[in-house]
Structure 1
Amino acid sequence: MHDGSRIGLVLHPHRDCSGAATQVATWTSTHDVELVAAADDVHRLALTGVTPVAPAELADSCDGIIALGGDGTLLGAMRLVAGRPVPVLGVNFGRLGFLTEVEGRELDAALTAMAEGRSTIESRSCLVVRGPGWETVAFNDVVLARVPGEGMVDATLSVAGRRYGHYRSDALIIATPMGSTAYSFAAGGPVMSPGAEGVLVTPSAPLNGIDRTVVLGPQEPLKLTLPATAGRPAVEVDGLVRGRLGPGDEL
């Protein structure tokens, strides 16, 4: 971080992070750094010393992002700047905080370390996910999840254009190494170092077909195809419902 920088705040959508936001605003005001946040958040928390901007400007114009919340807030901030990667500092004000690097009480020290060049940046891979008529990215995982009354998750996996195998399960989890410690791990998948490369495909409560985690290379495109007799599973991206798939759809 240097003088003249523009730093963006991404805030938990419900928790009151105004105290921490004010703390960051006080710090930036003494270091010639402009602090910006989404206009809705600035107005919701009546923040002072923070410039309200549109979310698109937040993603396109900042030299770095500070995410105040939990793991979900951090993942949202990373998705926000995926097209123009800049450093993202996660500060835990949530319940889990497994991914966030800094606790709220350490915020001042973390900002000072950044200003003095004593911080390090760790790169993280993501999944590029294409569904029917949409595309997004996921830093933890993409999940096809059974919807009660809508049948099990029924999908055929193809890798680099070749049929690999079939799944019939309660859920099917496609995870990054960073996401290997989340739903995939709970479903019995292995833990991968965030510094490793690869994609994990893990079924949850499999009925038949592949019943163990498959680890694929980072450059191997994979496709999941739902047969004509399939149900309508939900698609979750980093824990957020993105939509539904139906018979014949591909992910």
Structure 2
Amino acid sequence: MKIGIIANKRYSKQISPFFTKFLEWLRANKVDFCVEAEFADVAKYPFGISLLEILDVADFLIILGGDGTILRAARLMKDRQIPMLGIRFGRLGFLAELSGQTYEKELKQILDGQYSIDERMMLEARINDSDDPLFALNDAALTRAQSSKLITMEVYINQIYMNTFRSDGMIIATPTGSTAYSLSCGGPIVTPDMNAFIISPICPHMLSNRPTVVSGDSEIVLRFKELSDKCMMSMDGQEDIPLNAGHVITIRRAPQKVKLVRAVNSDFFSVVRNKLKWTT
């Protein structure tokens, strides 16, 4: 089994001291690995290869960083079904399973085959039925680019008119994304095994405009009824696409899923309790 290692340069100060010891640990455990060139250069590791090469040869990915690094890898993977394991150096880390401080025991168990695979749905967004779809694991967020004016947007579910929203924008989230941007807009927490979308208006003008959960088999169409200024669509908060009044956004469930590696004793609600500081 070949392990591909992808790391976030943003956390290079935290990861670089860890990185050398981590590679020594992998060698001691006879693990075959390759390292993404972009981070290898920062860490002064001389044998890096491109991310696309890693995705072609790796059987298993270890992501060093935070959830954002996992989101980036998930979008670039497209139809490749490579299991991913995150070792976090970021903040909350809902997706990154292990800590950079205490990874050894759990990672050894995982490499010995003691783990489960958590399959997560992704969403696919198209602008004006483009042949070049955009993908997200967490969410697609349509927001104002600069102006303080509200956006007026019609939403259709399976060609049935849902509502016209006047708001700062709209978030279409997957169950994985229900603990991300959508949560800050009052959206519900949805367990990641569900087949669903969460439609969450951002600061709606009408207080009765509440987040809504629809089937993951739905086709969601968003049309701008009034748009005096430019806005943008952000995929997982990382890839921004400018929009104008003539654009129609169609969102569906993506054909591919993301495979996240989970330790044997890991469960969704333990993660939520820990990250959101729920009391017991």
With normalisation by structure 2, the TM-score equals 0.80
Aligned to 1:112, which of 103, 108, 114? 108
Q: State the 1:115 CA deviation.
A: 1.9
AA at the equivalent of 2:23: A
Counterpart residue number, 2:90: 94
CA distance 1:238–1:104, shift in 2 (3 Å): same
- Is 1:129 aligned with 2:125? yes
Q: State the 1:31 CA deviation.
A: 4.3
Aligned to 1:240, which of 227, 238, 241? 238
Q: State the 1:141 CA deviation.
A: 0.9
- Is 1:75 aligned with 2:56? no
Query: How many residues matched?
Result: 245
Contact 1:167 1:210 in 2 (8 A): no
Counterpart residue number, 1:66: 62
Q: State the 1:84 CA deviation.
A: 0.5
Q: State the 1:150 CA deviation.
A: 6.4
Q: What pairs up with 1:1-251 in 2 under 5 angstroms? A: 5-16=1-12, 17-47=15-45, 51-131=47-127, 133=130, 134-149=132-147, 151-208=149-206, 211-227=209-225, 229-251=227-249
Q: State the 1:198 CA deviation.
A: 0.2
AA at the equivalent of 2:100: G
Unaligned 5+ residue runs, structure 2? 250-280
Q: State the 1:177 CA deviation.
A: 0.8
Q: State the 1:156 CA deviation.
A: 1.3
The farther-off stretch of 113-122 and 12-21 is 12-21
User: What is the root-mean-square deviation in Å for CA atoms of aligned residues?
Assistant: 2.0
- Per chain length, whose mean CA-contact separation is higher, i.e. which structure has more relative contact order (CA < 8 Å, sep 6+)? 2
Contact 1:150 1:232 in 2 (8 A): no
Contact 2:233 2:243 in 1 (8 A): yes
CA distance 1:210–1:80, shift in 2 (3 Å): farther
Cα distance in 1 for partners of 2:233, 2:19 equals: 33
The farther-off stretch of 7-16 and 84-93 is 7-16
Secondary structure in structure 1 of the residue aligned to 2:210: coil
AA at the equivalent of 2:143: A
Q: State the 1:232 CA deviation.
A: 1.7
